[in-house]
A and B are shown apart, each in its own frame.
Chain A
């Protein structure tokens, strides 16, 4: 199958996730951690796409996840929708917002774009905190219906399925002319324009796709933990997925996923919550010294493909 030979990232992910699932299934606590890691990995994958490929340093991926999570929570809790019916909405609302934001700022310098994403993230947080009637304000929303609640392994499989679809979509993108154009834009925007690429439009489409991935992560979060508050997802998640991306390697497709796994597992092995920040900082410095392109960048020097 030449189709799958060109899409090894998706196959590697499925194999790794199956193995991890088989190990984690013996212990409810580890299965719980594995599910949280997969949700983080989905958001980390989205920041890998925006930064590693489109060159947009986004501090809003956690907020896109929050929008996805709140969308499904509100639709299921207040309007009685089925979670499955709310999934397309939880994906497309962040995508639409991401597209609109990127269309507005894609012409600006990279630093200005990064600041714009930070601004969006602050605005989302303000809306979530102050629109009491809809979002529950500071208290948040509790009692969000769960899906596949029979056995956590079923939910794990669902989360891995969504992550695999996201990796496949990302891989398809990078195998197409649009992927080549993104690579060119990152190296030299003028060169891409001379190839006939409408640069702001393509960057916006890639950014929207990444926001959709983050939205799917938010949907999983809402229906697994069944509780949401303004602090659940947001700026803190945006920063930690950036860290995962750097650790795993931004330019490789699976780098951010690997980063999510490594940091997620290590966080469990560490004793106290208080020293984790110190540990994260130390890990980051060591990795940047040893492997500037992240751990997967070290393994695979050939880049995104």
Chain B
């Protein structure tokens, strides 16, 4: 049994379209892995297969040695795999604390009936969850924003809140869907630092990104997808030097592209 979130030989067909054709990716505890590729290369489909949002046609997804292939999303979350969305449709009037509290849903022990009856145990649990939410906010340096409305945050702050919400329930693996999209350079730096903090606490992270510079600066390993298959796997330096990756994904002038990104 090996520690890690491991997807192997994943095949996903939508009707006649083959989105994934034997793709694979590995995430190790405490490490940051990147998943890159052109539009339509199967990144998002892979992401959705791992998190249970779609059921792969074939293949195996393992969480620390246990198969989680085909489980519904809420079971995958309870097993310890959290995800964020590129553009979540969140309730803009909710406060940051409430948004993070939503991430604690699966830690709640009280049932629907006791919640509706307003039993004292539910009130106690609610108080405890609020304290835990404040703890998560402090850990990510968001404590000052607790009572702020989501609508008043910058895009960078919204992404940080999404990260906080993702790790709230104690996820061992966190999958981030293009977290740097639409952020300014300084926001990206803050986000990168947050991601490192989360990883250093032992959480394995998978980044799906377009921004190669961002991935390169953060990740220990990078998997490049092309047409539903793994084109290359390696360290950022290896990927940046890989001829096939340069031709299909980075373009002929990798140095220029990295600068531009």
Interface residues of A (CB under 8 A from B): 3, 7, 168-169, 171-173, 175-181, 183-184, 187-188, 190-199, 202, 205, 209, 302-303
Interface residues of B (CB under 8 A from A): 51, 53, 72-74, 77-78, 82-85, 88-91, 93-94, 98, 101-106, 108, 110, 112, 115-118, 122-123, 126, 129, 165-166, 169
Known: A194-B77, A195-B77, A197-B105. A176 touches B90 (CB 8 A): no
* Among candidates A172, A187, A196, residue contacting B117 with C-beta atoms closer than 8 Å: A172
Instruction: Give the 8 A-B CB pairs with smallest separation, nearest first.
Output: A196-B106, A176-B115, A172-B118, A196-B77, A188-B89, A193-B73, A177-B108, A195-B105
Known: A176-B115, A190-B85. A195 touches B103 (CB 8 A): yes
- Give the docked Cα–Cα distance between A119 and B105 (Å): 34
- Give the docked Cα–Cα distance between A38 and B108 (Å): 35
Known: A180-B105, A193-B53, A196-B77. A168 touches B118 (CB 8 A): yes
Instruction: Label chain A's interface by main secondary structure.
Output: helix
Are the C-beta atoms of B117 and A180 separated by less than 8 Å? Answer: no
* Among candidates A171, A172, A184, A190, residue contacting B102 with C-beta atoms closer than 8 Å: A184
- Ordered by A's residue number, 12 sampled pairs between the chains whose C-beta atoms are within 8 Å are A177-B101, A177-B110, A177-B126, A188-B89, A188-B90, A191-B90, A192-B102, A193-B72, A195-B77, A195-B106, A196-B78, A197-B74
User: What residues of chain B lie closer than 8 Å to A171, measured between beta carbons?
Assistant: 118
* Among candidates B53, B72, B90, B129, residue contacting A187 with C-beta atoms closer than 8 Å: B90
Are the C-beta atoms of A3 and B123 separated by less than 8 Å? Answer: yes
- Give the docked Cα–Cα distance between A161 and B110 (Å): 26
Known: A169-B116, A172-B118, A209-B116. A198 touches B98 (CB 8 A): no
Known: A183-B94, A188-B90. A194 touches B112 (CB 8 A): no
